[in-house]
Structures are given as structure tokens and as C-alpha cells.
């Protein structure tokens, strides 16, 4: 059984008796474009009896416009009619069928019936009344199905048509270009620069047509020009090098000499580590994602690009056959020195049984231990099932699989560490993904005394690991990335890095690939542990004078000297230093004055830990006795929901968060004149601008999770993209002192260092 098959039905109708469906037009259509389609179902020999029905289903991951039946002039207007005049009832339900085909148009025959040859015609995006059509999903798919299921006998027992209507969804024209280079690289060694164009929805475009030159002092091996032409979605320029240490950025110029884009910062110099960027968490169409598992790894390697990738299908949807197929894919794509794959899966237990966990193996051929078999027919080896997360830990320990690495994460189900956590296997928490941002899961770990690292991944369902944009769906954020500090690019080195928590996380996007360095100078006699001595009592650690992020340190003294350095692709807005859940200090490399005309409104939060966590922040801002000259969105990822500045000086927006942050920067005519009034979702406030000096004003909504809106002044000009500092940090007696950083870039990108765990 693969991702395109439905689950077995008792007494299903023979496929040849179900009828057929046709679609007009067919072919290729641009992602996110508005189109009109006519789907005609023709009844088979059974017809459809009174109260029988059809389901036209789309995949869970799709963000195709929701069909509506009431306004002929509005987007997504859809009509449904029977050729013989039978009365039809219909509705669209986001969960109207078995996943992954759960986005469902349900059509029921009432006051009549269909005989063989009678038809039901569905017009998605009917345009006669002025509708622009139905908006297609915003990401590419080679075979997008209008999947038709039929219940001709009125038993509510549905079967899929043997042939399904399909179209191809392809990229649009490029609106931006992204150049990616290594973050840290040795002097004189050749490296590659990756270039792609992205359409407005983040799809790598095959409609580019430009010739570029590379500009950077000290760059050797560059071609005179490089081209990215029609049919190409990316180009890789090999053989570049820098022969002197330093920090560099490569600029790409068009034939007129205009800057098209610039690479991420590149640190050239000697060091024990290589920085490998990873997206370790996502799914393909064989479970609940889009496109095949082979396409998944190919996108990660060639189009994201990342250097490490893992596939994490829901265990209750992975068949035995697909598990073997995944092993074949991870083995085939694994290429040390170029691209590393990790075998694994998502243990998807219900929240009350522990919640979601990512499971990674150092090699293929390992046992799939499912939380349930809800969507698989395979019944072999039931003894391998682990319904509770504690059963999973016990099974791994009994099998001697101490080399497994696990993360706790929050997706549809959230990991509850209080129900189950085992430090022998679980080494990190996933603090950010397409589902949102989840600082609370790290705080849960601190409360338990667990010593865990921080990762961020996409948990992507749209076939774009390493570059997972939210589109128009209720996924509120860009998928995150994890930077792994490894001594070589190989599977053993990656697994060793994950066990030692030697990594940092970012919230993803074009500015994600920053360089973050965190270390501590230790008093003589201090010991550094990679395995938690509370979990591995036999571990004696090693005497060391320095420690890095992720290390667990027994400090032979009362304080350490912490050193931090950040080099980012864009301006750094602030750096927050934490001792566990407690904020120790906020550093602003470019402080704002009390007379700055730039204001930042920033909202964040989630309503609930589970699936229905979205907070709607639709609202507006206006000033009285002053003027708003400009408004710049922050973390507005949906091109159809942008900040608007009206002629009367009112700024309005439509926005949601799922734990992550979004906002708008305002440029005022006068810095302190007048009053600012803001209405944003659950928060309203009004304050005189003279009262807003250099400190934040924060408004919160009471609840189980933080929901807040803050307003502060920004520096009118911020060119600081590199910043470092050191602090003497006391080490608490009788508890851990977990030190970590959260970095805010001015464009809304976030980054987190894995904690450095200090104890006396």
C-alpha cells in the first residue's frame, strides 16, 4: 500500500461499477494562481441511490482555496448540479474523510437518485458571476488529485474511482533570488555556492532568465559569469575558495551591475567544527505530505539546500513496505562529505500517552515501533508496538539501541515531558517548526531538570524540506533549521553531534543562516560531560578549561566567563541571555533613542498547546496628532495577507500566530507627537507617544500560554550584523544554571543556542 491507496473496505463495490470522473482543463497550472475547473462524475451501473453520495477529496497538506457556494463574485465560488435534476446537498469539510485525504467536498443525493450515465457536475471557481476562480495550492505537486470516492448503495461505505482526475502544479515566475554558501569553511579549500530563484510562495522557480557575476574581495575560482535559465530551478557553482581568514559575503550582480542578492555570511578560518545546516523533520505523500520520499530528499539536497535531512513519517501511517522503501532512500541519498540522511520516523502517540517524538537511527534496518496501527493494515509483529512513550523507551533499552537519538516536538499532538522522558535517548526539544514556536517545551524540560538541546526543523508537509513556507494554511511559520557543529559531514558525526547537543536552531527563511558562537571559560578543575551524569552515573566527563553550547559542566568554582559572538545576514535587533526560563539580560547592539521615529509592534503567542493553537491578530493602528509615513511587515509570510497603509494614515493587517511572532514597523512623521491607538485581535491599547521612550510596552492576555503584544522604538538606522560580548556568570548552588541565547534579527528571524548546563 502506498500513499495513493485507500484503506481496505468490507464489501466494497467492484471498481468497474463505480462510474468515472473527468476534469477540464488538465495540464500544468501555476502554484497559487486562480483557475476554474469543471469536474464531471458519470454514474456507473449501480447509479447512486437516494441518500448515496460522493466525496471529492484533497490532501491534508493542501492550501487550495476553500470552496464556497454563496457568493458568485468572490474567490473559490463553486457550483454543484445533477444532470437529471435530482436535489443535491453539499458542504466542504476540512476533516470529512480518512487522512491524508481529509479536505472534502461532500455531495449527497436527496429527493432523487442517479441512474447509469447520469452526471454530477462540479465547477470549482465558476467565473460567470465575477469570481476570479479557485486559488490553487501554493506549493508544487507533480500529480495533484481531485480524488473522487463514491457511495452508490447509500451504505456510507466509500470506494475510490479506479482513475482519478489530476493536474500538475508548477512554480511561478521568480520574485527573489537566494544565494547559499557554507557558514564556516577552512582557508583555501574549495566550496560551492548555490543559487535559486523563488516565486512569491517560496517555490524554486524554473522560469529564471538571468546572467550574474560574483563580487567579493578575496574570492578565488569564480567564473566570469553564471547563468540561471529557463527550466533550471537552481545552479551550483563549484570551486570557489578564500585564501585568507576572515568574514565574507558574496554579492551577485546582474549585467547592469545591480545587486540581485548576497550570500549568507561566510567565516573562513581554522577551527574544529564544520557548520552543517539540517532539516531533520518532514513528511512525503506516502504518509501525510506532498510528493514522494525520493522527491523529498532530492529537494532537500538540491533545492533547499541543506546538508543533513531526515524523513519523519507518522508511524501509524507507515506500512511495512514503505518502511523498507524509506531505508532504501536514506541509504541511496546518503553521501558523506556532500549530503547526509538519517533513517527514522515520528512516533506519533496520543498526547495523553506522551505525544509526538522524533526517532533517529544511525543505520538502516532498524525496527519500526509504532504507537498504533490506525491507518495501516499490516498486522505482523504486533509485539513491536509501543502504545506509551515509556514503552518505547523500555523497548529501545531492552534491544540495546542506546545509539538512538530522539527529540520531543509539538505538531498536531504535543510532547508532554511530564508523562514520559528518558535522557538516555531524548537529547533535544524542537522549539520551532512550521507549526509555530514553542519556548514552553524547553521550559517544561527545565522544570523536570532535564538537560536537553534545542533544535528547529520544518515538520514540513508541502514537499519542501529545508525551505518550508506556510502558504495560506494555518501553519503559521516558516519551517526552522538546525545548525550542527560537526567535525566532518558524515552520519556518525551527525549522530554524535545530536547526542552532545552541539547545535543551535533558527526559525528559518532567507536570513536563517547566521553564525552563532557560544563558549565558556571554566575555573581549573572543571569537568565537561557530553552524557548527562544524572542519567549516566558512570560518566566521569573530562577536565577542560572551556565548554561550548550543549555541554554539561561541573564547575569547580562559583562563576564562568561566557563569550558570545553573532554574525548575521542582516541587522541584529536584540540578544537575550537566559538562565533557564529566567531572562538575565537583553542586549541591543544598536539602541534606539527616545526620539526615534521607528516603532515596532510585535505580537506573539498561542492559545493552546494542541492543534487549535492559532491566535488571530487581525487589526489596525492609527495615530492622532501625528502621521504614519510608512509601514513594513515583520514575518508576514502569506502574500495575500499583507500590511496596508491607507490614505488616512491607518495601518491595517490580517495575521495569525501559532506561538511564533509577527508584527509591523511604523515610521512616524514626528517621534513623540500624538497618541497611538492599536487594535490587534485580543488586545487593544491607546497610549501617548511621549510616554514611549526606550523601554518596551507589553500588553498580555491571561491564559495557559503567553499571548502578548509589545510596542517599542527601533533605531532609525541599524547596520549592526555582527556583535559579540562576554559576561561573568555566577553558577547557582543546588540547581542547574542553564545558559542559552535567543537572538532576534530585525527582519523577524529568531535563533536559539542549545543551553550550556552548569552546576557546582
Looking at domain 275-513, does it have CATH number 3.20.20.140? yes
Equal CATH topology for 15-170 and 275-513: no
Check if the beta carbon of residue 605 is closer than 8 Å to that of residue 615. Answer: yes
Task: Write out the three cell numbers for 704.
Answer: 495557559
What span, in angstroms and rounded, lies between the C-alpha atoms of 493 and 273?
Answer: 11
Task: Write out the three cell numbers for 639.
Answer: 502574500
Strand partners, 372: none
What span, in angstroms and rounded, lies between the C-alpha atoms of 49 and 152?
Answer: 6
What span, in angstroms and rounded, lies between the C-alpha atoms of 75 and 503?
Answer: 45
What element of type H or E holds 493?
A: helix 491-500
User: What are the tens digits of pLDDT across the range 465-502?
Assistant: 999 999 987 777 999 999 999 999 999 999 999 999 99
What element of type H or E holds 426?
A: strand 426-433
Backbone torsion region of residue 130, taken as left when φ is above 0, otherwise alpha when ψ lies between -120 and 50, otherwise beta: left
Task: Report the SS3 class of residue 298.
Answer: helix
User: For the chain (length 760 residues), average pLDDT per consecutive 10?
Assistant: 42 82 98 98 96 97 97 98 97 94 97 96 98 98 97 94 97 98 96 98 97 98 96 97 97 97 95 92 96 97 98 97 97 98 98 97 98 93 96 98 97 93 98 95 97 97 95 86 97 98 96 96 98 95 97 97 98 98 97 96 91 91 95 94 89 94 96 96 95 93 92 96 98 97 97 98
Query: What is the spatial order of strands in the sheet that 515-521 belongs to?
Result: 546-548, 515-521, 559-567, 722-730
What element of type H or E holds 239?
A: strand 235-242
Tell me the CATH number for domain 514-590+719-760. 2.60.40.10
* Burial annotation 368-387 (CB, 10 A radius, 16+ → b, else e): bbbbbbebbebeeeeeebbe
CA dihedral 410, 413, 415, 416 (to 10 degrees): 130
Q: What is the pLDDT of residue 12?
A: 65
Helices (DSSP H) in 346-404: which residue ranges? 389-398
Give how far Cα 271 sits from Cα of 165, 245, 646, 755, Å.
55, 11, 52, 21
Displacement of CA 565 from its chain's centroid (Å): 26
Tell me the CATH number for domain 15-170. 2.60.40.1510
Query: Judging by beta carbons within 10 Å of its beta carbon (0-12, 13-18, 19+), is residue 540 exposed, middle or buried?
Result: exposed
What span, in angstroms and rounded, lies between the C-alpha atoms of 737 and 584?
Answer: 11
What element of type H or E holds 327?
A: helix 320-333
What span, in angstroms and rounded, lies between the C-alpha atoms of 490 and 176?
Answer: 32
Nearest residue to 181 (alpha-carbon basis) of 224, 219, 217, 210: 219
Boundaries of every domain in the chain: 15-170, 176-271, 275-513, 514-590+719-760, 594-714
Strand partners, 737: 758
Length of the chain: 760
Number of helices and strands (H, E) in the chain?
5, 60
Q: What is the pLDDT of residue 4?
A: 40
Give how far Cα 362 sits from Cα of 342, 356, 370, Å.
7, 20, 19
What span, in angstroms and rounded, lies between the C-alpha atoms of 301 and 234?
Answer: 11
| Contacts for 242 with CB less than 8 Å, ≥ 6 apart | 185, 187, 188, 218, 219, 220, 248, 266, 268
Give how far Cα 498 sits from Cα of 362, 401, 517, Å.
11, 15, 17
Assigned CATH topology for domain 176-271: Immunoglobulin-like (2.60.40)
Phi, psi of 439 (to 5 degrees): -60, -30
Provide the CB-side half-sphere exposure for 64 (13 A, CA). 33
Indicate the DSSP class of residue 39: E
Give how far Cα 563 sits from Cα of 513, 516, 683, Å.
20, 11, 38
Task: Write out the three cell numbers for 731.
Answer: 553558577
Give how far Cα 580 sits from Cα of 427, 450, 589, 736, 741, Å.
16, 11, 23, 8, 10
Residue with cell 569547580: 556
CB-CB neighbours of 654 under 10 Å: 15
Q: What is the pLDDT of residue 2?
A: 41
Check if the beta carbon of residue 141 is closer than 8 Å to that of residue 161. Answer: no
Strand partners, 644: 652
Task: Report the SS3 class of residue 296.
Answer: helix
What span, in angstroms and rounded, lies between the C-alpha atoms of 138 and 118?
Answer: 34
Amino acid at each position: 500500500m502506498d500513499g495513493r491507496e485507500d484503506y481496505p473496505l468490507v464489501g466494497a463495490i467492484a471498481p468497474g461499477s463505480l462510474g468515472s470522473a473527468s476534469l477540464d482543463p488538465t495540464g500544468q497550472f501555476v502554484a497559487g494562481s486562480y483557475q476554474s475547473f469543471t469536474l464531471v462524475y458519470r454514474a456507473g451501473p449501480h447509479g447512486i441511490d437516494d441518500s448515496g453520495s460522493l466525496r471529492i477529496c484533497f490532501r491534508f497538506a493542501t492550501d487550495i482555496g476553500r470552496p464556497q457556494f454563496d457568493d458568485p463574485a468572490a474567490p473559490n465560488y463553486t457550483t454543484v448540479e445533477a444532470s437529471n435534476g435530482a436535489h443535491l446537498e453539499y458542504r466542504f469539510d476540512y476533516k470529512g474523510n480518512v487522512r491524508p485525504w481529509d479536505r472534502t467536498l461532500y455531495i449527497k443525493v436527496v429527493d432523487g437518485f442517479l441512474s447509469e450515465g447520469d452526471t454530477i457536475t462540479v465547477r470549482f471557481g465558476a467565473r460567470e458571476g465575477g469570481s476570479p476562480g479557485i486559488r490553487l495550492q501554493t506549493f508544487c505537486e507533480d500529480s495533484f488529485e481531485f480524488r473522487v470516492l463514491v457511495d452508490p448503495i447509500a451504505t456510507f461505505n466509500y470506494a475510490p474511482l479506479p482513475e482519478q482526475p489530476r493536474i500538475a502544479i508548477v512554480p511561478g515566475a521568480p520574485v527573489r533570488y537566494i544565494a547559499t554558501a557554507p557558514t564556516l569553511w577552512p582557508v583555501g579549500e574549495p566550496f560551492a555556492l548555490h543559487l535559486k530563484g523563488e516565486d512569491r510562495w517560496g517555490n524554486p522557480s524554473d522560469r529564471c532568465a538571468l546572467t550574474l557575476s560574483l563580487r567579493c574581495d578575496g574570492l578565488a575560482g569564480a567564473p566570469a559569469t553564471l547563468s540561471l535559465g529557463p527550466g533550471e530551478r537552481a545552479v551550483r557553482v563549484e570551486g570557489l575558495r578564500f585564501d585568507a581568514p576572515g568574514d565574507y559575503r558574496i554579492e551577485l550582480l546582474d549585467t547592469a551591475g545591480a545587486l540581485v542578492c548576497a550570500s549568507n555570511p561566510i567565516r573562513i578560518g581554522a577551527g574544529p567544527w564544520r557548520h552543517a545546516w539540517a532539516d531533520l523533520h518532514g513528511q512525503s505523500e506516502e504518509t501525510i505530505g506532498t510528493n514522494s520520499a525520493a522527491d523529498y530528499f532530492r529537494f532537500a539536497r538540491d533545492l533547499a539546500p541543506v546538508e543533513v535531512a531526515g524523513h519523519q513519517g507518522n508511524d501509524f501511517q507507515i506500512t511495512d513496505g514503505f518502511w523498507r522503501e524509506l531505508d532504501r532512500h536514506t541509504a541511496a541519498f546518503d553521501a558523506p562529505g556532500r549530503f547526509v540522511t538519517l533513517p527514522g520516523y515520528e512516533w506519533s502517540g496520543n498526547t495523553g500517552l506522551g505525544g509526538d517524538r522524533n526517532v533517529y537511527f544511525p543505520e538502516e534496518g532498524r525496527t519500526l515501533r509504532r504507537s498504533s496501527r490506525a491507518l495501516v493494515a499490516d498486522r505482523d509483529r504486533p509485539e513491536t508496538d509501543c502504545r506509551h512513550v515509556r514503552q518505547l523507551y523500555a523497548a529501545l533499552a531492552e534491544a540495546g539501541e542506546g545509539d538512538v537519538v530522539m527529540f520531543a516536538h509539538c505538531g498536531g499532538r504535543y510532547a508532554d515531558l511530564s508523562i514520559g522522558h528518558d535522557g538516555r535517548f531524548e537529547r533535544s526539544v524542537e522549539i520551532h517548526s512550521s507549526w509555530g514556536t514553542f519556548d514552553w517545551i524547553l521550559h517544561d524540560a527545565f522544570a523536570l531538570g532535564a538537560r536537553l538541546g534545542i533544535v528547529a526543523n520544518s515538520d514540513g508537509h508541502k514537499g519542501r524540506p529545508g525551505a518550508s513556507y506556510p502558504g495560506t494554511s494555518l501553519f503559521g511559520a516558516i519551517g526552522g533549521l538546525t545548525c550542527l557543529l560537526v567535525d566532518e559531514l558524515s552520519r556518525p558525526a551527525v549522530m554524535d553531534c545530536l547526542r552532545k547537543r552541539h547545535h543551535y536552531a533558527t526559525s528559518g527563511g532567507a536570513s536563517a543562516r547566521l553564525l552563532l558562537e557560544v563558549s565558556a571559560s571554566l575555573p581549573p578543575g572543571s569537568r565537561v560531560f557530553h552524557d548527562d551524569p544524572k542519567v549516566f552515573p558512570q560518566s566521569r566527563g573530562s577536565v577542560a578549561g572551556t565548554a561550548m553550547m550543549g555541554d554539561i559542566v561541573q564547575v569547580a568554582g562559583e562563576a564562568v566567563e561566557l563569550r558570545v559572538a553573532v554574525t548575521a545576514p542582516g541587522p541584529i535587533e536584540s540578544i537575550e541571555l537566559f538562565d533557564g526560563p529566567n531572562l538575565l539580560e537583553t542586549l541591543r547592539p544598536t539602541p534606539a533613542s527616545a526620539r526615534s521615529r521607528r516603532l515596532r509592534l510585535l505580537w506573539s503567542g498561542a492559545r493552546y498547546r494542541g492543534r487549535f493553537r492559532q491566535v488571530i491578530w487581525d487589526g489596525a493602528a492609527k495615530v492622532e496628532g501625528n502621521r504614519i509615513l510608512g509601514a513594513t511587515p515583520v514575518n508576514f509570510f502569506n502574500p495575500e495577507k499583507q500590511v496596508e497603509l491607507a490614505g488616512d494614515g491607518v495601518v491595517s493587517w490580517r495575521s495569525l500566530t501559532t506561538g511564533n511572532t509577527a508584527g509591523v514597523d511604523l515610521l512616524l512623521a514626528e517621534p513623540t507627537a500624538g497618541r497611538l491607538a492599536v487594535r490587534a485581535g485580543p488586545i487593544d491599547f491607546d497610549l501617548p507617544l511621549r510616554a514611549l521612550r526606550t523601554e518596551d510596552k507589553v500588553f498580555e492576555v491571561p491564559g495557559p500560554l503567553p499571548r502578548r503584544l509589545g510596542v517599542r522604538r527601533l533605531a532609525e538606522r541599524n547596520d549592526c550584523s555582527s556583535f559579540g560580548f562576554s559576561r561573568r556568570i555566577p553558577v547557582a548552588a543546588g540547581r542547574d544554571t542553564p545558559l542559552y541565547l535567543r537572538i532576534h534579527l530585525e527582519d523577524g528571524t529568531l535563533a536559539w543556542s542549545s543551553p550550556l548546563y552548569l552546576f557546582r
